Amino acid sequence: MSSLAPEAIPFLITRPAGKADKLLAALDDSGVGYLYQPLIATAQVNVTPHDIQQLQQADAIVFVSVSAVSSLQQQLDRAMLTAPVFAVGQTTALALQRWLGKDVKVPDDQRSEGLLQLPQLQQISGKHIVVVRGNAGRELIKQGLTQRGAAVRYVQSYKRIALPLDGELLCQQWQLAGIRCIVATSNEILQQLFTLVPKAHHSWLTQRDYILVSPRMQDSALALGIAQQHIVLADNANDWALLSAISQLKREYQ
């Protein structure tokens, strides 16, 4: 899928299929040129009766992503979740609020580090905490809560799947299109971009601008060799925050 105007500086949108429709429609309406290429897909994982029991008995439930919320929402009656609910990021918190209709605790610093600083998660010795997430991911939340005496269990509601793509061919297409900015909405997407594209093209990748959605992603981008001046942090991962960041960069390019 693509939309390119000859006079436009195109953006590369990498949001997973099914999560990009509103953003792409808004870009079309705004006359912003883009290429759209998802790099990963998400697939629901069936929660087990034991998972459901753990969620019902939890003293607190932590959701690490929007996909964790949406995949569980499709399988569970919200009335089953009676424990206080926490989200790592604002977009995840909004998804939870829409589903559960109750208060969600979310840190200003939208990373695992920020979540661990929340006052409600300090005195938790003996508490049972469930973390809802995908396959793999950081262990920092579990480690931090366990050190405070909590019993922590994972519930996996979805898994990430890297799409079988030709990174060499894609990168050549992006270069020919004149891509100047890459929009990535998760650390997994950012890492997959550099895994997919051959190392011979990494210098080109590191010279692009990047619109990212969290301080953690910024840290990862810096570690990949992307300079600070090439990084723009959107306010969060929702479509309108991304559109705002894209529109601002488009004005700068002109």
Average of per-residue pLDDT values in the chain: 92
Report, as an integer, the average pLDDT of 197-225. 95
Residues 61-102: tens digit of each pLDDT = 999 988 999 999 999 999 999 999 999 988 899 999 999 999
Model confidence at 238, in pLDDT bands (50, 70, 90)? confident
Q: Of the given ranges (10-24, 187-201, 217-231), which has the lowest mean pLDDT?
A: 10-24
* pLDDT, position 4: 43
Q: Residue 214's closest CA among 185, 247, 243, 238?
A: 185
pLDDT at 196 > cutoff 80: yes
* pLDDT, position 91: 84
Q: Of the given ranges (10-14, 27-31, 89-93), which has the lowest mean pLDDT?
A: 89-93
Nearest-5° Cα angle at 190, 139 to 118: 40
Architecture per CATH, domain 2-39+164-253, reads as 3-Layer(aba) Sandwich (3.40)
Query: Which residue blocks in 148-234 are alpha helix, DSSP H?
Result: 167-177, 187-196, 202-206, 215-223
Query: Which residue blocks in 158-198 are alpha helix, DSSP H?
Result: 167-177, 187-196
Q: Of the given ranges (86-90, 149-153, 212-216, 225-229), which has the lowest mean pLDDT?
A: 212-216
* pLDDT, position 122: 97
Report, as an integer, the average pLDDT of 146-166. 96
Helix, coil or strand: residue 23: helix
* pLDDT, position 216: 82
Hey, which of 5-14, 72-81, 109-118, 132-141 has the most confident mean pLDDT? 72-81
**One fold for 2-39+164-253 and 43-160:** yes
pLDDT at 194 > cutoff 50: yes
Beta carbons of 167 and 198 less than 8 angstroms apart:
yes
Task: Give the start-to-end residue ranges of the domains of the chain.
Answer: 2-39+164-253, 43-160
CATH of domain 43-160: 3.40.50.10090
pLDDT at 214 > cutoff 50: yes
